[in-house]
Structure 1
Amino acid sequence: MITSVLVANRGEIACRIFRTCQERGIRTVAVYSDADENALHARVADAAVRLPGAAPSETYLRGELIVKAALSAGADAVHPGYGFLSENADFARAVTEAGLVWIGPQPEAIEAMASKTRAKELMGLAPLTEVTEDDLPVLVKAAAGGGGRGMRVVRRLADLDAELAAARAEALSAFGDGEVFVEPYVEGGRHVEVQILADAHGTVWPLGTRDCSLQRRHQKVIEEAPAPGLPRQLTEELHELAVRAARAVDYVGAGTVEFLVADDPVAGAKAHFLEMNTRLQVEHPVTEAVFGIDLVALQIRVAEGATLENDPPRERGHAIEARLYAEDPANDWTPQTGTLHRLTVPDGVRLDTGYTGGDTIGVHYDPMLAKAVAHAPTRAEAIRKLAGALERAAVHGPVTNRNLLVRSLRHPEFATGRMDTGFYDRHLGDLTTPAPDPYAPLAAALADALGRSRFGGWRNLPSQPQVKRYRDETDGTDHEVRYHHTRDGLTAEGVRVVRAAPDLVVLEIDGVRRKFEVSRYGDRVHVGTTTLTALPRFPDPTADQAPGSLLAPMPGTVVRVAEGLTEGAHVEAGQPLLWLEAMKMEHKISAPVTGTLTALHAAPGKQVEVGTLLAVVESKREDSAP
């Protein structure tokens, strides 16, 4: 009987596993890097052990230290979560050799399936060994791990070598294994997967299907169960293939078999095997919701030797999960850092997170803040429930993809179940088109007037209006708002101020009352879903950077500079100049214009902060007319 579990992971998944353990009376042990000393997962566990010595991005890959931590803390079992060492057979073997229970599949099954190249061979498939123009487009993928790291779509043969190098670097950083492979890229397919759970006595449960087609950078954004619109025959085929894959390696525990479902003009919908993930998936909550189960609890029971019933529970209703990321979708999905001041969602929606108000979002790990999950009798109701909850959620801190999620859920293509993995390639522009609220700056100013002035700024005689300036982070527009303090309270032109308090403003606009919830953190002001920055009334005219300046969009490390790039070189608009690594991903920095590189301040290994000047490209001027 398991009495104490160490989770060899961090953040949201560690907190989620701890929750199940604590509900069942199992003691919990966390491990943490120096960067995570004050992280939520380290705070909520019954005990926590520091993993010393390594760079934060490598800490959770040090299996020998994690095993030592488990033994020193008195744990009798280890749960790997997902990512990091969750699909590392050597780590699983080290855990069991130390006399600990491994809450996951046996090392032999991990070795057979966790490497995507070996998994394809087991299923009678093989990656490409040579790429020609006839094969394009192709997909470069990491052999170990997942989550979109080490993955690249290549459409030009000339780009293959560079993309292979970038994929290897990402895979090595994220999983400790730089092996990659190449396979044909199927355009317009749906990402569909089957959750399986198997015991050590020969029972394998296929727990329905999930659709994970809405992806950015090959990382899932919105997932749901069951996958909508699949013919019954195809669903049964996917279940059979998933069970066959599990039985082929005598699989024990929770796992996921992933497929790409594409329309074939002759055969109709056709499933292409992608891989088997020998671990718990990020999107497991939607399966839990529709089957009414706790997969982590079942993982623990199976690890203790329990026998599953012959048939799995029956599905009920529909569940949808949205991943909330600290990133800017309109700016090439750039990760964001800083303080997360507040994160709440309305009751009735499940929120799995590794953060709470006041926590810092750093640069070392994935930018996912939380997963919001809605369950309802029908798909349409689940969509409406989740979109409404996200719209009303309080997400105060750096820029996030919250508005993108709401718009995605309400997009006609998603609502009718016609989406595929190219959804954001087609619709990102429309989904990120700014939709600023013209009354948000006024609400911020009125709330600030009540919050900062003891007497409300009232004047006995008529005076000039009070003026405040804000920048709307939705579209970068600066706004100047004016209002008056009178003996009857605050007034503003064109609206009636019904109520004004530091945290709530009610305006009557054309006969309709609107409520604006206001929260302020320094110069940052959140008004509903709008984020504003308070500006000085008289801006510094010398504050702007020179035209053509390339500033670091995030804190990170310069991992490489384009080969042969030196000051004085001619560059073309869009040409990659250098690459930053942040949050386990590489981010390309390209020339903004065609011209001359007049300054280069970046070098491999250099640490940079947001706004650091990396390079300057002086725009090419057209020759003067004679």
Structure 2
Amino acid sequence: MFSRIMVANRGEIALRIIRACREMGIETVAICSKSDKDAMYLKQADITVCVGPSEAEGSYLNIPSIISAAEITDIEAIHPGYGFLSEVSHFAEVCESSKIVFIGPKSDVLKKLGDKTEARKIAQACKVPVVPGSESVIKSQQQALDVAHKIGYPVIIKASSGGGGRGMRVAHNDISLVNSLAIAQREAESAFKDPSIYIEKYIEDTRHVEVQIFGDNYGNIIHLGERDCTLQRKHQKLIEESPSPAISERLREEICKAAIKIAKAVNYTNAGTVEFLVNKAGDFYFIEVNTRLQVEHPVTEMVTGIDLVKQQIRIASGERMNIKQKRVRPRGVAIECRINAEDPNNGFRPQPGKITFYNPPGGRGVRVDSHVHAGYQVPPYYDSMISKLIVHQKTREEAIACMKRALGEYVIEGIKTTIPLNLELIAHSQFASGNINTNFVENLLLKNQHS
């Protein structure tokens, strides 16, 4: 087992990893930018190193600076969390060449699955259904039009090297496709340093279902069930739950088997998530593999009782996975709401600023993953998520009731947040019935604007 790990991230996920390490008796080195250097969560780490300015490009994305800090502090492994460098194969390669263990998949796997067009080919080779689309990255406007005409509108433009809704645009005709291409490429370049994009058929009225997978260095690969991430805004998840309330046991088994097939095809190690779209008829289509820990990993932890971060660390240290597939038996229902520092009534504009009052909810089955507190200054440089509220109850009805109560207790003053929107979504009759799709939030917001 490792004796000292670097946490190459910030905020909620950095604190989450530090806590897991402390419970395992592992020392931690936390990196930070200048704007984060006084953050209270850093006091939980054994060593803190400032690696650059406030902007992520010079700090949390600065590979030379992070590696220099790693060498100075004599760490054995780096946990990248999610976002930033967590899916960058070059960073994993640099770690490997520096004799530092990257807590995640091997660099060659990151490279294969990080290219979404290559990931599609792997899925097709495994006979897993994929959404119709381009077979390679789009290199010209004419190629994009040819693909769209072949598969039919609407289509969706996606960044080849990323996710999280960045570099994604839906087009319903030639004009919107041409106009959206350059925008998507600029977003992809800005977010992932790679302007490559590809095109898929945009399947409407679908659910977003993903499978949590784990693999060790000895060829053992399992799944930990699925999560339903259908409630999204601009392809960014807002609310996640496990298990999915809208798929049958037969479909659940088929999707999980498909995820394992893809993972085995690349000898996957550590944590990952295989994502699918499911239509009304019960057909499912592979989208992509997120080669890292997910933001929504707590819902899987709650229903399985497995600490995913500790499991990641054990696998990376060379331990054989001690979880057998037949013993993975999810219990109850877990729901997670992402709390973002945004103003939903003003185009979801980010809300940097000082939190003047902070009162998180509690009670049986309630979990809050957050690094903020009264007096915390939300910086303008990073993702706007400041907290995750998770509940776990015996039934879905009880979980929804618990989440309503917890959201009602959650008070954050000084800035605007998405707590009111989350409460509206959780309390909506269509969410309770499970009758939703990936366009539900956008349609609801549009309806609210005109009412």
Superposition TM-score, scaled by structure 1 size: 0.66
Partner of 2:127: none
Partner of 1:333: 348
> C-alpha separation between the residues in 2 aligned to 1:138 and 1:180?
13
Which amino acid counterpart does residue 310 of structure 1 have in structure 2?
K
Partner of 1:241: 258
What's the CA shift for 1:407? 1.2
1:454-481 per-position Cα deviation (integer Å, ceiling 9, x unaligned): xxxxxxxxxxxxxxxxxxxxxxxxxxxx
Partner of 2:137: none
Which amino acid counterpart does residue 73 of structure 1 have in structure 2?
T
Q: Is the 8 A contact 2:34 2:52 kept in 1?
A: yes
What's the CA shift for 1:15? 1.1
Which amino acid counterpart does residue 421 of structure 2 have in structure 1?
L
Q: Which of residues 281, 284, 297 is equivalent to 1:271?
A: 284
Aligned pair count?
Answer: 430
What's the CA shift for 1:177? 2.4
Structure 1 pair 432–10 and aligned structure 2 pair: CA distance change class (3 A): farther
Partner of 1:220: 237
Q: Which of residues 361, 372, 375 is equivalent to 1:355?
A: 372
Partner of 2:331: 316
For structure 1, which segment, 117-126 or 359-368, has the greater mean C-alpha deviation from structure 2 after superposition? 117-126
Larger radius of gyration: 1
RMSD across aligned positions (CA): 1.9
1:34 aligns with 2:24: no
Partner of 1:155: 172
Q: Show structure 1 runs of 5+ residues with no match.
A: 435-626
Partner of 1:94: 94
What's the CA shift for 1:199? 1.0
What's the CA shift for 1:113? 0.8
For structure 1, which segment, 48-57 or 90-99, has the greater mean C-alpha deviation from structure 2 after superposition? 48-57
What's the CA shift for 1:234? 0.7
1:377 aligns with 2:394: yes
What's the CA shift for 1:53? 5.8
For structure 1, which segment, 58-67 or 188-197, has the greater mean C-alpha deviation from structure 2 after superposition? 58-67
> C-alpha separation between the residues in 2 aligned to 1:217 and 1:140?
13
> C-alpha separation between the residues in 2 aligned to 1:44 and 1:329?
33
> C-alpha separation between the residues in 2 aligned to 1:169 and 1:270?
33
1:338-360 per-position Cα deviation (integer Å, ceiling 9, x unaligned): 11123332223211113222111
What's the CA shift for 1:58? 4.6
Which amino acid counterpart does residue 11 of structure 2 have in structure 1?
G
Structure 1 pair 402–54 and aligned structure 2 pair: CA distance change class (3 A): closer
1:135 aligns with 2:152: yes
1:461-517 per-position Cα deviation (integer Å, ceiling 9, x unaligned): xxxxxxxxxxxxxxxxxxxxxxxxxxxxxxxxxxxxxxxxxxxxxxxxxxxxxxxxx
Structure 1 pair 393–43 and aligned structure 2 pair: CA distance change class (3 A): same
1:570-604 per-position Cα deviation (integer Å, ceiling 9, x unaligned): xxxxxxxxxxxxxxxxxxxxxxxxxxxxxxxxxxx
Which amino acid counterpart does residue 144 of structure 1 have in structure 2?
S
Match runs of 1:539-554 below 5 Å:
none
Structure 1 pair 181–292 and aligned structure 2 pair: CA distance change class (3 A): same
What's the CA shift for 1:237? 0.6
What's the CA shift for 1:411? 0.5
Q: Which of residues 399, 402, 405 is equivalent to 2:419?
A: 402
> C-alpha separation between the residues in 1 aligned to 2:133 and 2:42?
41
Q: Is the 8 A contact 1:141 1:181 kept in 2?
A: yes
SS in 1 for 2:13: helix
Q: Is the 8 A contact 2:80 2:103 kept in 1?
A: yes
1:14 aligns with 2:29: no
Which amino acid counterpart does residue 174 of structure 1 have in structure 2?
A
Which amino acid counterpart does residue 227 of structure 1 have in structure 2?
S
> C-alpha separation between the residues in 2 aligned to 1:49 and 1:123?
41
Structure 1 pair 229–54 and aligned structure 2 pair: CA distance change class (3 A): closer
Percent same amino acid at aligned positions?
43
Which amino acid counterpart does residue 105 of structure 2 have in structure 1?
P
> C-alpha separation between the residues in 1 aligned to 2:113 and 2:56?
28
> C-alpha separation between the residues in 2 aligned to 1:39 and 1:167?
34
Q: Is the 8 A contact 2:54 2:381 kept in 1?
A: no
Which amino acid counterpart does residue 51 of structure 1 have in structure 2?
V
Partner of 1:562: none
1:72 aligns with 2:72: yes
Partner of 2:83: 83
> C-alpha separation between the residues in 1 aligned to 2:190 and 2:373?
27
> C-alpha separation between the residues in 1 aligned to 2:57 and 2:397?
40
Q: Is the 8 A contact 1:404 1:431 kept in 2?
A: no
For structure 1, which segment, 16-25 or 50-59, has the greater mean C-alpha deviation from structure 2 after superposition? 50-59
Partner of 1:122: 122
> C-alpha separation between the residues in 2 aligned to 1:217 and 1:299?
30
Q: Show structure 2 runs of 5+ residues with no match.
A: 125-129, 135-142
> C-alpha separation between the residues in 1 aligned to 2:104 and 2:256?
21
Q: Is the 8 A contact 1:57 1:364 kept in 2?
A: no
Q: Which of residues 174, 189, 205 is equivalent to 1:172?
A: 189
Report which of the two has the higher share of strand.
1
Partner of 1:573: none
What's the CA shift for 1:44? 3.1
1:600-624 per-position Cα deviation (integer Å, ceiling 9, x unaligned): xxxxxxxxxxxxxxxxxxxxxxxxx
1:545-584 per-position Cα deviation (integer Å, ceiling 9, x unaligned): xxxxxxxxxxxxxxxxxxxxxxxxxxxxxxxxxxxxxxxx
> C-alpha separation between the residues in 2 aligned to 1:31 and 1:213?
33
What's the CA shift for 1:60? 1.6
SS in 2 for 1:191: strand
What's the CA shift for 1:430? 5.5
> C-alpha separation between the residues in 2 aligned to 1:356 and 1:166?
37
SS in 2 for 1:385: helix
Partner of 1:608: none
What's the CA shift for 1:328? 1.6
> C-alpha separation between the residues in 2 aligned to 1:300 and 1:433?
50
Superposition TM-score, scaled by structure 2 size: 0.91
SS in 2 for 1:123: helix
Match runs of 1:186-201 below 5 Å:
186-201=203-218
SS in 1 for 2:315: helix
